[in-house]
Amino acid sequence: MIREEDEAYLAQYRALLKAWTMAVGGFTNDDSDELHRKLEAGQDELARIAQDHPEKSYDVDMLIHARSRPWGGFAADRLPRPPHRQP
C-alpha cells in the first residue's frame, strides 16, 4: 500500500476503535462484540503498516494497546448506568 492508503487505514481503524469504546461504555447501542471482531481482523494490517513505515510504529502500538486494555466489561456484563447518565 502507498503511504496515503496506510494513513487512511489508520484513520478508519481509529474511528472503529472509538465506536467500539463508545459501545463498550454504553454510550451507543452498537454491537460491541461485532466491533471487537472487526478490530481483531484489522490487527494484521496494523502490523504490516508498522513494518512498512517504522515512523508509524508508535501510532500502531497505541491503537493495539487501546483495544486490548482491560475494560469494565461488555454491555451484557455491566451494571446499569445511573438514571442521570441514561442516554
More confident: 1 or 26: 26
Please, which pLDDT band fits residue 75 given cuts at 50, 70 and 90?
low
Write out pLDDT tens, residues 5-54.
999 999 999 999 999 988 887 888 898 889 989 998 988 999 999 999 99
Domain ranges of the chain: 3-85
Q: What angle do CA 82, 39, 51 make, to 5 degrees?
A: 140
Q: Give pTM, 2 decimals.
A: 0.74
Whether the Cβ atoms of residue 34 and residue 16 lie closer than 8 Å to each other: no
> What does the alpha-carbon distance between residue 87 and residue 85 come to, in Å, rounded to a whole number?
6
End-to-end CA distance of the chain: 40
Whether the Cβ atoms of residue 15 and residue 7 lie closer than 8 Å to each other: no
